[in-house]
Structure formats: C-alpha cells, structure tokens
Amino acid sequence: MAAAEDFFKTIEPVHSGNLEVRLAENSAEIDAAQALRYKVFYEEMSAKPTSEMLVAKRDYDKFDEYWDHLLVLDHSKNKTIDKVIGTYRLNRKSQAKNNTGFYSSGEYDIQSLLSYPGEILELGRSCVDSKYRNGQTMQLLWRGIANYVFYYDIKIMFGCASFPEVSHNLIKLPLSYLHHYHLAPKKIRPVALNDRYINMNSFPKEDINVKEARRLVPPLVKGYLRVGAYIGDGAVLDQQFGTTDIVIVLKTDQVTRRYRSHYELDKPDITIL
C-alpha cells in the first residue's frame, strides 16, 4: 500500500471520539473492509455473491488490490474485523492507467473524463455499518475524501450510484428528472455502453413534477446533487447488485468554492455525500 504510506506522510488521520478516518495500512484492514461490504451489500441488501464470496463472506474483485481503501475505524473495538465500520474505495487516473483501469468503464464510456486535464478520481464501494449510519460517521468519511482530493489535486470525481430497483417503470420519473435537470456537460459526460444503455429520457421536461421526482431520488444521489454534481447519459442495470446504476460526475472546484469555510482546515476543502 505505497499510496497509503505516501498519504500519511502528509495528511494526519482525522479523529472524532473513538472514531478515526484514514487509508487502510495493511491487508487485514482491507479484509475487514471487504467483510463490511459483504455484510451490507449481500446480507442486508440484495446483491448476489459468487460461490467463492459466499464461502468467504467477503465482497472483492480485481480492483481491490490496486485501489486505496478509505476507512472509518472504531477504536473501542478490539479486533480489526470489528473496527472497520465505514469504507470508500478510491482510484486515481494515475493509478488506474498502470493497473486494472476503472470499474465504471464496465458500464460507461468514460473517455471524456480520461481526456480531461489533471487528475481524476473514481469513487466506489461506499458503505457504513447500520449501527453507525449517522452524521458523525459520514462527516469523517467526507473529511477523509476531502483531504485525499486536496493532496492529490483531484480535478474531477466520478463513480456509479444506484437506485435499489431493477424495474425501469418504477424509476422513469426520477431518471427523467436527472436527465433534464442535471445532465453533465458534453465535454465531461460519460455515456452508458451501447449494449447496456437504458434511456433516462422517458418524460418531457415540462411534464415532470420536480418535487415528486426529487423525492424518489436516492439520498446519496441527492447529496451529490446538492454540491453541484452532474449525471451521465443513460442508466445501466447491474444484475449482480440488483440495482439500476447511474454515473455521477463532480468537478471539485465547484465544491471547494461552496464549502471553503465548512471545515477548519488551512486549505480549501470539499464535502462528499
């Protein structure tokens, strides 16, 4: 985990009571993050594990070895497996080009983002233990991402977010709302791959009840929208996780301006929801 070592030479972990946010420092902590992901995605939600995952009780894929793993740890617990109560997986362009690429590229054409000047960051596999889903834990995760973004001078963040439905009819309204009101500018707009593309534009803009549509947008997506995020073109069905995915794109300079004074840091900061 060379990237993690580099991170900690420059940025101190953030603490709040018994909780701490930092990057994973060893394989045991990554294993604990994978166990948490399995608990949330496969046991609590409706994802379908492979036979190997079912035996191991771990969520993992080819990307885990190369991505950075941001963790929230509860130091009141004794065992590493119990300490990790929140996680985000982080992948920079400079990392991806030498390793396994981007997770999102399995669902979206992201060439527009890859062509954008400067460093970009893919976010994924975000989850928090059900006992810790509160403001304190989320603030710590956001602080960790903010520090990471500032340190690596990230220009754009992106990643897949999900609706917990696989029926297009159930989410036509919120998808149409996102298409008409939050579509990313073309120069930074990912587009769902042709063989996976689900048209989000089911209703004309003038027929959309904005209040009702926003009510149907998942909280995580609404959080991104509040800080100026855009949506890519087209949704994608994720059979493994039993969700309909969209892709989020967020320019960090927009968030930095808005949240310059939100945290007591010496440098501008961002908040990620």
Task: Give the span between the Cα atoms of 171 and 166, in whole angstroms.
Answer: 9
* pLDDT digit string, tens, across residues 132-162: 999 899 889 988 998 898 889 999 999 999 9
Mean pLDDT of the chain: 89
* pLDDT digit string, tens, across residues 191-219: 999 999 999 999 999 999 999 999 999 98
Task: Give the span between the Cα atoms of 246 and 231, in whole angstroms.
Answer: 7
Task: Give the span between the Cα atoms of 270 and 273, in whole angstroms.
Answer: 10
Task: Give the span between the Cα atoms of 196 and 230, in whole angstroms.
Answer: 20
Q: Residue 268's pLDDT is what?
A: 30
pTM passes above 0.85: yes
* pLDDT digit string, tens, across residues 230-255: 999 999 999 899 999 999 999 998 66
Decide if pLDDT at 270 tops 50: no
Task: Give the span between the Cα atoms of 23 and 19, in whole angstroms.
Answer: 13
What is the CATH number assigned to the segment(s) 2-258?
A: 3.40.630.30
Task: Give the span between the Cα atoms of 158 and 146, in whole angstroms.
Answer: 14
Distance set, CA 37 to CA 3, 50, 62, 95, 122 (Å): 22, 14, 15, 22, 17
Distance set, CA 63 to CA 44, 112, 193 (Å): 23, 22, 20
Decide if pLDDT at 171 tops 90: yes
Which residues have C-beta within 8 Å of that of residue 218, sequence separation ≥ 6? 161, 162, 163, 164
Phi-psi region of 217 (alpha: psi -120 to 50; beta: other; left: phi over 0): beta
The three-state DSSP-derived secondary structure of 24-38 is CCCHHHHHHHHHHHH
Q: What percent of the chain has pLDDT over 90?
A: 73
Task: Give the span between the Cα atoms of 247 and 102, in whole angstroms.
Answer: 13
Report whether 104 contacts 190 (CB < 8 A): yes
Task: Give the span between the Cα atoms of 70 and 54, in whole angstroms.
Answer: 24
* pLDDT digit string, tens, across residues 1-11: 445 555 544 56
Which residues have C-beta within 8 Å of that of residue 103, sequence separation ≥ 6? 61, 63, 91, 122, 124, 159, 160
Q: Residue 95's pLDDT is what?
A: 87
Which residues have C-beta within 8 Å of that of residue 205, sequence separation ≥ 6? 176, 180, 181
Mean pLDDT, residues 113-135 taken together: 95
* pLDDT digit string, tens, across residues 173-189: 999 999 999 999 999 99
Sign of the Cα torsion 85, 67, 8, 153 reads negative
